[in-house]
Structure 1
Amino acid sequence: MRLALPLIALATALSFTSPALADETPAAAPAAEAGTPAAPPRLIVAISVDQFSADLFAQYRAHFSKGFERLLQGAVFPSGYQSHAATETCPGHSTLLTGVHPARTGIVANNWYVPGIGRKDKKVYCVEDEANPASTSKNPVVSPKHLKAPTLGDLMKKANPATINAAVSAKDRAAVMMSGHDTDAVYWFEGKGFTTFEDRKISPAVEVENAAVARLVDAGDGDLPVPGFCGAVDHAVKVKDFTIGTYRFPLKPEDYRTYAGGPRLDAATGDLAIRMVDELGMGKDAVPDVLSVSFSQTDRVGHAFGHEGVEMCIQLAQLDATLGKLFDALDARGIDYAVVLSADHGGFDAPERLNQEGYAAAKRISADLKDDALSDAVSRATGITAPEGKLLYGAGSSGDIYLGAGLTAKQRKKVTSALVALLKANPEVEAVYTAEELKAVPVPQGDPQDWTMVQRVRASFDPERSGEVLMMTRRGVVGVADPAPGYVATHGSPWDYDRRVPIVFWRKGMAGEEQPAPVETVDIAPTLAALVGLKEPAGTWDGTCLDIDGSEADTCAR
C-alpha cells in the first residue's frame, strides 16, 4: 500500500533521479505526434489469458464488443509465439514478463522429476518449495524460488523501490511466474477463496472479494447466457459415454468445484484486480507500477470441453465482459495505464470433434507412452530394473523422461539407448532427443515460425531440470489417453496450435496497428521496459523491443 502523502512525494522525487529509469517529466520526454502519449504510463497492466491460442483469437475477434474491442484498437500482433516446445502454463507464464525463454527461466514444465529427492513424491511443482517438509507437488508450499530470471516488476523495483509489483490469478503458478521474487501482493484462488504465500496474510480487499465469492456460490446461479453468435458451435459431441458441446455452466449452491471450473472465477479475478489497484494505490504517482492479471478459465474450459463447443464461446464472451469491466474501472479512476494481453500457450480441441470436422489424423495418445508402460518395455529390452522407485518418470505426452535413481553409469547408458530406440519406433512420436544432444544445440534466434523441432525443444531445455530424454509427439496427437468428464483436451506439444498466441498492446492515444510479423512473448518485457524508461544491460532479454505505435513515433527509441 502507498505510504502517507509526504512520503509519496519523496518517492516521486526520487524516481526522477533513478539511474535505471528515464526522466519521467513531460518536459524531458521525446517529441511525439499529436495524440501519441510521450510520458511513461503510471500503470502497466499485463494480462495473460490461459490457453488463448492465436486460432481462438482469430475465430472470435469479430464478436468481441467490450474489453477485447478496446484492445483491438491498439497494436495487434496476431502471430505471437510461445516459441519453445514446453507449451504448458508455468513455462509460458515464465516468459511473459522475464523476456527470456524457459531455457533461462529454468521453468521447463509445470512439473519435473527429481528421482533422488529425499521424499516419496519425486515430482517437483514449478512454484513449490520442495525443501519444506509440508510441501508436496499436489499440495505445495508456494514459492518463486525456481524462477531463475527477474521479471519486469523485479527489475522496476530494483531501479526504484517505490514501484508496486502485484499479481492475481486463479492459478498460483500464473501469479508467481508473472510477478517474480520482489512482490508487494500476490494472490491466487484455492479451495473457497483467494490466498497468498504461507508467510503472508490476505489483505482486507481479498477478504471482501472472498466474501463476495462465498455469497455467489452459496446461493447458486443458473445457466450463463449464450450469445447469438454461439449457435454454430452449440451441439453435442460424444466422447466415450458422455458428451461435450452444450454445457452452460449452471451453478448449484455451495458447489465450489464447479465454480472453479467456469467463467465466473475470471470475473472474480478481475474484481480482485480492481480492489488491489485501490488498496495498493497503484498508478497514483509518477513511479510506474505493474499489475499482472492471469485469467485462468479459458484453460480450464478448454481442458474440460475443448475449443469448439458452446462452452468456449460462452467463456470468451464472459471474459470479454470481464475485461471491459476492468478497463472501465481503471478509466473511472483516471489512471494512465498501458495494457498488454497475451497467453501462456495455445491448445487443441478434443479429437472426437476434430475427427467429425475432417481432421482424421487427430487422435488420443496411446497408453504405451506412459512412464509405467515405457519402464516395463525398457526393462524387458535391457533386463534392468530400478534399484529404487521407478525405472522411468515422466512421459505420457510430449516432454521430458527422467531415469530412476540408483542406476550405474553403464546401466543409465543402456536404458537411455533402449528408450530412445523404443520411442523412435513409435508411430505417435515425431522426434526424440537426449540431454547430451540438446546441450550441443545453440539457443535459437530468428523468426520463431521458422525454428526447427530441435530448436523449439532447445528453447525450453535446462540441463539442471530437464529429463535425460525428451520426446515430441506427432501433430494431432492429444496427450489425454483416457478422457473423462472435465478432461478431454490439452496442450503441451511443439506444434503451432500450442505455440501461437496473440500479443496485443493498448494505451489511450496510441496509434493502432496490425502487425503480421512472427514476434515472441519474450519481446513483451523489453517492449514494456522501453515504455516506462527502464534501461537494462545488453543480454538481459532474449527478446527485442517492439515498436507498438502505428504512427511515426517509435516507442523503442525513448
Structure 2
Amino acid sequence: MPFRLSFLSFSFICLLLCITTVQGQRKSKKSEVLPDKVSLYTQPKLMVGIVVDQMRYDYLTRYWNRFQDGGFKRLVNGGFNCKNNHYNYAPTSTGPGHASIYTGTTPSVHGVIGNNWYDKLSGESVYCAGDPAYNTIGSSSEAGKMSPGRMLVSTVTDQLRLHSQMRSKVISIALKDRGAVLPGGHTANAAYWFEGGKDGRWISSSYYMNKLPDWVQTFNQAGSVSQYKKAWTTLEDINSYVESGPDNTKYEGVFKEEKAPIFPHNLDEIWNANGDYNILRSTPYGNSITTDFALAAIEAENLGKDQITDFLAISYSSTDYVGHKYGVNSKEVQDTYMRLDGELIRLLDYLDEGVGEGNYTVFLTADHGAVHVPAFLEDNKIPAGYLNKQTAIKSLKENIKYTYGAAELIRNVSNNQIFLDHMVIKNLDLSLQEVQSSLAEELLKQGHYRNVYTAYQLQNGEFTKGLPYILQNGYNRMRSGDIMLVPNTGYIDYSKTGSTHGSSNIYDTHVPLILYGKGILQGATIERTEITDIAPTIAVLLGIAFPNGSTGEPVVKALE
C-alpha cells in the first residue's frame, strides 16, 4: 500500500521544521553576540599622561606635514583623535587646566580657579600649588614650598593609587611646579619640577619626600642640562617654514640683550642676562630636558615593570613660554612643535623598548590654547585689540563714588573678576545683588567687555550651553569674585608682543585630545568632547573609581 501523508500531518512536520530552524538561528545569533569572556577593564603596565602647555588644536593640522611618522602622526594614526575637544570653563590657564584634566571636573568643584587668585578670607593673593607648610627638597631656595592642598578633590592618579592599595607608582614631571604638583594628585609618590638659575636642577617638596632619591641626585650632579647651553637654530631650513609668518616681526618679544627676534638665538651669549638656565624654559630645549628626566624616571623607578599599572604624568611647558614670548604665528613656535614631535618619538620609542609596545596607554592634550597676537589680527583687518583694564576700573570707581559715596566697595580685581567688600555693602544697608547688577551694567556701557555676569546669576542660574555655561563651570562659590568679566573676542590685557590665554573664547578652549595604546580603538570623532572627559575615560579603561568630584563623561567611542 503506497505511503501517504494527510494534509494535517504534512502541515505539522513543516511547523516543526520552522521552529527548529528559528531556534537554531536564535542560538547562532546569541553565540555571536555574547563572547566567551567579557573584559571588565584594561590593565596596561604604564599609563602616560602628556599635557602640552598652550597647544591650540590647529597646531596639529598646521604642522602636520612637518611631523615625522613616529610622534604626533603615530598617536593620531594609531590612536583615537577627538577633533572637537574643548575646555568647558574659564579661566583657561595652566593651574586650572592641569587640575581639570586629572580630576575630571571644573574649577566650580575642584577649586583651582586660576594660577593665582585673591583669597577672600585672608585678603591676600594665593598660588594654586603654593604651600608654606612644606620645604624645598633639593635646593636652598623657596621654589619647592608646594603641595596639591588647594585642590579640593581627588585625581585619577589618586584613584589608581587607592585602587591598588598604594602599590601603583605615580610620578609627575614638568618644568613648572604647578604642571607637576596638580597632575600627581594628593597621593603621588613624587612630583618634580625644574629650578633654573645657575645650577639647572630638578627639585621637589617635603610634601612628597625628605630627600631626593639617589637617581635624581645623580641626574642633577651629572649636569646633563649643560649640553643645551648652545645656540637655538631651526631644525630644518628656515625658508621651508611656510606654515608660520616672517622671522622678524613687531609681534614678537626678544630675550634681554638680543637686538631682534630672529634665528639663531645665541643662548650662550645672552645666558647670564636671562637667568642662566632659566632661559632654556623659553626654548625647545626645555622640552628636551623634560624628556631626559622622564626617561631617567621610568628607568630608575621601574615604571611599567610589573602587572600593577603605574602612572607617569608629563607636562611639556616650553611650548607655553615660547608662545608667550613670540606669538602663535611665529617661526619660533613652529620650530618648537617640530622639535617636540622629536621628543614624542624619543619617548614612545623608549616605552616600546622598556615597557613593551602594546603594554602602555597614552593620552595627549593641552591645558589651554592661545590667541593670535591682536596687533597681528588688526593688521590683517580682523577685529582685535588690547584692553585697558586700569582705565575701565578707574571709570568704575568714579561711578561708585557718584552712586554710593566715598565708600571703597572694591577689594580686588584679578583673573577677570571683581571682588566686592561685602561688609561695607552690608554696613551701607545695600543689596549685594543690586550692587553687583548695577556695576555689571556700568562695565557693559564702557564697551571693553562683550558680557558681564554677576555671582548672583551664576549661583542661581542653570546653564547648559554657551558662555554662561562656561562661566558657571569656572565659578567657585567659596573662591570666585562678585563680577565676571568677558573681554571682547580677540581683545587681551597683555603686552603688544606674544600670545596669551585665559578667556572663554574658542581659541583658548579648543585643544587636542588623542588617546593611544592598550585598550584604545583606532579612529576619530567630531562630536564634542570636553576636557573633563579625560579622567573618566581613563578610569573606565583601568576599571577604577572615578575621581570623587568628576563631572565628565567617558569618551565611549575610543574604548574597546
Q: Rate the CA distance shift 1:320–1:132 in 2: closer, same or farther, 3 A.
A: closer
CA contact (8 A) 1:209 1:268 kept: no
The C-alpha deviation readout for 1:323-350, integer Å capped at 9, x for no partner, is: 1111111111133111000011110121
Tell me the SS of whatever aligns to 1:505.
strand
Shift of the alpha carbon at 1:315? 0.8
State how 1:96-115 maps to structure 2 within 5 Å.
Answer: 96-115=101-120
Match of 1:341 in 2: 364
2:441 aligned with 1:441: no
Separation of aligned partners in 2, 1:125 and 1:363: 29
Separation of aligned partners in 1, 2:302 and 2:36: 25
2:150 aligned with 1:146: yes
Q: Rate the CA distance shift 1:58–1:374 in 2: closer, same or farther, 3 A.
A: farther
Q: Rate the CA distance shift 1:28–1:289 in 2: closer, same or farther, 3 A.
A: farther
Match of 1:401 in 2: 418
Match of 1:282 in 2: 303
2:351 aligned with 1:351: no
Equivalent of 1:155, from 156, 159, 177? 159
Match of 1:13 in 2: none
Separation of aligned partners in 1, 2:337 and 2:506: 21
Match of 2:15 in 1: none
Shift of the alpha carbon at 1:380? 5.3
Percent of counterpart pairs with the same letter?
Answer: 27
CA contact (8 A) 1:234 1:245 kept: no
Separation of aligned partners in 2, 1:144 and 1:334: 29
State how 1:78-477 maps to structure 2 within 5 Å.
Answer: 78-117=83-122, 122-129=124-131, 141-160=145-164, 161-191=166-196, 192-199=200-207, 200=209, 201-211=211-221, 216=226, 220-228=229-237, 229-231=240-242, 232-239=244-251, 246-252=262-268, 253=271, 255-335=276-356, 336-359=359-382, 361-368=383-390, 374-375=396-397, 378-379=400-401, 381-386=403-408, 391-395=410-414, 399-404=416-421, 407-411=424-428, 413=432, 416-442=436-462, 444=464, 451-477=465-491
The C-alpha deviation readout for 1:420-460, integer Å capped at 9, x for no partner, is: 2331112120111111211112364xxxxxx2111110011
Separation of aligned partners in 2, 1:233 and 1:101: 35
Tell me the SS of whatever aligns to 2:355.
coil
Match of 2:531 in 1: 521
2:556 aligned with 1:547: yes
Shift of the alpha carbon at 1:527? 1.2
State how 1:478-497 maps to structure 2 within 5 Å.
Answer: 478-480=492-494, 482-483=495-496, 488-497=498-507
Q: Point out the structure with the larger helix share.
A: 2
Shift of the alpha carbon at 1:222? 1.4
Shifted more, 204-213 versus 108-117: the winner is 204-213
Separation of aligned partners in 1, 2:201 and 2:396: 40
CA contact (8 A) 1:115 1:403 kept: no
Is there any run of 5+ residues in structure 2 with no aligned partner, and where? 1-34, 137-141
Separation of aligned partners in 2, 1:241 and 1:257: 16
CA contact (8 A) 1:236 1:246 kept: yes
Amino acid corresponding to residue 438 of structure 1 in structure 2: L
The C-alpha deviation readout for 1:42-92, integer Å capped at 9, x for no partner, is: 111000001101122222233221421211121011211111121111111
Shifted more, 221-230 versus 419-428: the winner is 221-230
The C-alpha deviation readout for 1:155-195, integer Å capped at 9, x for no partner, is: 11111110111100111111122111001010111233221
Separation of aligned partners in 2, 1:402 and 1:438: 15
State how 1:43-58 maps to structure 2 within 5 Å.
Answer: 43-58=46-61
Shift of the alpha carbon at 1:317? 0.9
Separation of aligned partners in 2, 1:51 and 1:90: 12
Larger radius of gyration: 2
Amino acid corresponding to residue 220 of structure 1 in structure 2: K
Separation of aligned partners in 2, 1:477 and 1:503: 26
Tell me the SS of whatever aligns to 1:407.
helix
Amino acid corresponding to residue 340 of structure 1 in structure 2: F
CA contact (8 A) 2:42 2:543 kept: no
Separation of aligned partners in 1, 2:367 and 2:130: 19
Separation of aligned partners in 2, 1:129 and 1:369: 34
Shift of the alpha carbon at 1:541? 2.6
CA contact (8 A) 2:328 2:498 kept: no
TM-score, reference length from structure 1: 0.81
CA contact (8 A) 2:135 2:206 kept: no
Separation of aligned partners in 1, 2:186 and 2:99: 12
CA RMSD of aligned residues (A): 3.0
Shift of the alpha carbon at 1:508? 5.8
Separation of aligned partners in 1, 2:194 and 2:351: 23
